Amino acid sequence: MDKQERRRIAVGLAAEHGGVVHRRDLRAAGVDRNDVRTECCSGRWRSWGLHTVAVLEVSREPVADLWRAVWESGPGAVLDGATALVVHGMVGFAPSTIDVSLPRSATARSVDGVTLHQRRLLERCITAGVPRVVPEWATIHAAQWAVSDRQAALLVCLPVQQRLVRPLRLLDTWRSVTRSPRRDLLGQVIPDVCDGAHSLGELDFTALCRRYGVPPPLRQSVRTGPSGRVYLDAEWEGLVVEIDGGHHLLGLNPTDDALRANEVALGSTRVLRIPLLGLRLEPGRFMVQVARGLGLPVLTSA
């Protein structure tokens, strides 16, 4: 094979992978290791690991790093966690590392910028494009591997809000998990996000008030507005607290919520809106605001 032909083949293969190509694919196309060595010595290509070759005639794209991570980490490696979610289309979060999962039986190799997770069993994967775990499992893993509880909650919210994973599928998948490093937190956050109405019904807001020295409110008090009856989550004299579950973000619910809150606020009553996830992650800070709204001192520790 002459050099023009092998370069044409390499450019075509690299263009499909953001500027990189696997040595295996080059061999399958008739480009042997001596050809690769010749091109690397000439400076047209660059060896980028045991299996990865960068073809410098092709502009390198970010996806090249993902292909390299999968190829170099070990047999059976796939993208997982937040990295997989970004490939599925998630926006609003930039992973600081490339999460890669591979079978525990595989020989794993350390790769710069890659965090390896060796697992007894790999969940179902998508092989079109860069191999990656399906969104529901990637969401759970991303939350488990997050650097903080707040980040874990964010990585549950984003895929659901952006419709990368169906809420009921995520909820069903979570119920199949038997062990988790954040089991207590995710056992609240995932139902909150996926089935907010049910979680809201189970929330004992009155008990939370007692913990922070706030008198119990009337629950689900009823007002009459221009559009009929208005049900309020919690009411005291001069103050209403509306607790927004995950379902409040769907469809026309934000519009209905705003109309209801504005109608109350136009009277003599102040309205505080508290997201259900906020009560899970920052109960003290929100309850301080409730106490301030009532003009009460608050227990800062509970």
Q: So where are the chain's domains?
A: 3-61, 65-194, 200-293
pLDDT tens-place string over residues 9-25: 999 999 999 999 999 99
> CATH class for domain 3-61?
mainly alpha
Average the pLDDT over 100-127 and give the result. Answer: 93
Query: In the CATH scheme, what is the code of domain 200-293?
Result: 3.40.960.10
pLDDT tens-place string over residues 56-81: 999 999 999 999 999 999 999 999 99
Residue 210: burial class (beta carbons within 10 Å; 0-12, 13-18, 19+): middle
> Can you tell me the distance from the alpha carbon of 285 to that of 114, in angstroms, rounded to the nearest whole number?
36
Average the pLDDT over 232-241 and give the result. Answer: 85
The predicted structure's pLDDT at residue 85: 98
Neighbours of 270 (CB within 10 A): 14
The predicted structure's pLDDT at residue 2: 82
Q: Which of 243, 156, 134 is nearest to 199 (CA)?
A: 243
Average the pLDDT over 203-219 and give the result. Answer: 84
Retrieve residue 237's tokens: 């004299």
Is the Cβ–Cβ distance between 119 and 102 less than 8 Å? yes
The predicted structure's pLDDT at residue 6: 92
Q: Is 230 helix (H, G, I), strand (E, B) or coil?
A: strand
- pLDDT at 106 exceeding the cut of 60: yes
235 phi, psi to nearest 5 deg? -140, 140
Average the pLDDT over 266-273 and give the result. Answer: 76
User: Can you say how many angstroms the Cα of residue 261 is from the centroid of all Cα atoms in its chain?
Assistant: 30
Strands 114-119 and 98-103 come out as parallel
The predicted structure's pLDDT at residue 195: 74
Question: Which helix or strand (DSSP H or E) is residue 218 part of?
Answer: strand 218-225
